[in-house]
């Protein structure tokens, strides 16, 4: 059955799907690169004990010194991975 819409209802519905903040959308779009970086860091931590120890001692500083710029979510996942290993 065809649903009928008046202008007021259309306006209400058009207002529901507001744009998410631009930075959030951009961060989500950059996920593939962030995941690649995550995989790279984890692989290196598994292969290099001194790198892993440095990560455990100071995660953010170690990654920054190595030229990585992971976002908050990736940092949290790396931290969790190191805790679980």
Partner 1 sequence: MSGMSSVSDSDLVRRCRDGDQGAWNELVERYSRYVYAIAVRGFRLPDDDVEDVFQDVFTRIYTRLDTLRDDSALRPWIAQLTRRRCLDALANKGRETPVDEAGVHEESADLADVEEAFAVREALATLSENCQDILDRFFARDQSYKTIADELDIPSGTIASRIARCLGKLRSQLEGRYDPEDGSRG
Q: Quick check: helix, strand or coil at residue 30? A: coil
| Interaction mask 33-52, partner 1, x per CB under 8 A | --x-----------------
| Residue whose CB is less far from partner 1, 16 or 47 | 16
| Residue whose CB is less far from partner 1, 5 or 65 | 5
43-73 b/e with 16+ CB inside 10 Å = b?
A: eebeeeeeebebbeeebeebbeeeebebeee
Asked if 29 interacts with partner 1 (CB under 8 A), we say yes
Q: How far is CA 22 from CA 50, 53, 70, in A?
A: 38, 36, 19
Task: Give least dist CB 29 to partner 1, A.
Answer: 5
Binding interface with partner 1 (CB under 8 A): 2-7, 10-21, 24-25, 27-29, 31-32, 35, 73
């Amino acid at each position: 059955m065809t649903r009928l819409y008046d202008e007021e209802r259309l306006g209400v519905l058009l207002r529901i799907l507001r744009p998410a903040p631009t930075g959030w959308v951009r961060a989500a779009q950059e996920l593939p690169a962030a995941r690649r970086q995550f995989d790279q860091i984890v692989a290196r931590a598994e292969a290099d004990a001194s790198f892993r120890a440095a990560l455990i001692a100071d995660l953010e500083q170690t990654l920054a010194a190595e030229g990585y710029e992971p976002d908050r979510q990736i940092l949290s996942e790396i931290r969790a991975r190191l805790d679980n290993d």
